[in-house]
Homo-oligomer: A and B are copies of this chain.
Amino acid sequence: MKFRRSERLVDMTHFLMNHPRQLVSLTYFSQRYQSAKSSISEDLVIIKDTFENQGIGTLQTLPGAAGGVKYIPKVKKEYAKEFIHHLCQLISDPDRLLPGGYLYMTDLLGDSQILNEVGKHLASAVSDRDIDVIMTVATKGIPIAQTVAHHLNVPFIIVRRDNIATEGSTVSINYVSGSSKRLQMMSLSKRSLKEGAKVLIVDDFMKAGGTINGMVNLLSEFNAIVAGTVVLVESDYEEERLVDDYISLIKLTDVNVKERKINVVEGNYFAEQANFL
């Protein structure tokens, strides 16, 4: 069946959105739609322009026999400002205060629309890096890792604080939680990570950086390479942090339980992210 341009544009948009950062050859589209490559190239120009104008991302075109097109999710700086400002407002709601100065964030980590935006913003910031797999730690890191993995189109693996039978052989390490200074254990299924893999570490929250530093140490047991660290929220920490190379969307600067005040500002996202549309 031959496709009209209007039908091709709808189906290609769906296809590209479902396969970010994957090189798709023009031959593939040409056969899928029974259309000339010249028509496909014209379609791609329309999609690229619309994606860029609407803040969806960009298309990278690689010429030659092994060439094709790649959809790269990106965000516009002004939209990122708006979204992060919106997140700051949500998080600074005093009703989030829990005993011990903790913040209730469970609703945000389970909101499909917010997660999708968080994933797109964090993925965009590292979209120029070479990443094979994403690593996080159970439980609260999982939703963030999964959405970043979706937008980067790579698998994600989960480090656990327990050992269960359905993971097979595991590699475990001890690490010191940075702020509480307690010794803890984390483990990763042995077959989940290949030697030499380039790994992006993702978590929901970072204070002293002890958990993330633990993941870095665990990666060295696998001879894997740290490709970067991204977190949703970093918290101010007066002592020296164990991790210094990271990207955060949001920064928690002060939690005052007595006055019921939470102070949240934008993280280092705008200083560290150089891939805006």
> Which residues of A are at the interface with B, using a C-beta cutoff of 8 A?
5-7, 9-11, 13-14, 17-19, 46-47, 49-51, 53-54, 56, 98-100, 102-107, 110-113, 115-116, 138-140, 142-143, 146-147, 149-150, 153-158, 160, 165-168, 189, 191-192
Interface pairs (13), CB distance under 8 Å: A9-B9, A10-B10, A10-B46, A10-B50, A13-B13, A103-B166, A104-B167, A106-B157, A110-B155, A112-B149, A116-B150, A139-B160, A146-B146
| Nearest chain B residue, comparing its CB with the CB of A51 | B10
- Asked if B168 and A98 sit within 8 Å, CB to CB, the answer is yes
Chain B residue numbers with a CB within 8 Å of A5 are: 6
5 residue pairs, one from A and one from B, having the closest CB atoms: A10-B50, A13-B13, A7-B50, A110-B155, A9-B9
Chain B residue numbers with a CB within 8 Å of A156 are: 110, 112
- Asked if A166 and B6 sit within 8 Å, CB to CB, the answer is no
- Assuming the contacts A110-B155, A157-B106, asked whether A98 and B143 have C-beta atoms less than 8 A apart, the reply is no
Interface of chain A, main secondary structure? helix
- Asked if A102 and B165 sit within 8 Å, CB to CB, the answer is yes
- Assuming the contacts A13-B13, A149-B112, A153-B113, asked whether A104 and B168 have C-beta atoms less than 8 A apart, the reply is yes
| Nearest chain B residue, comparing its CB with the CB of A205 | B166
Chain B residue numbers with a CB within 8 Å of A150 are: 112, 115-116
Given contacts A98-B165, A139-B139, 16 further A-B contacts (CB under 8 A): A10-B50, A11-B50, A11-B54, A17-B17, A98-B166, A104-B191, A105-B166, A106-B192, A110-B158, A112-B153, A112-B154, A113-B153, A138-B139, A139-B142, A139-B158, A142-B142
Closest chain B CB from A262 CB (angstroms): 14
Chain B residue numbers with a CB within 8 Å of A153 are: 112-113
- Assuming the contacts A115-B146, A138-B139, A189-B106, asked whether A14 and B11 have C-beta atoms less than 8 A apart, the reply is no
- Contact of A17 (CB < 8 Å), options: B14, B99, B160: B14
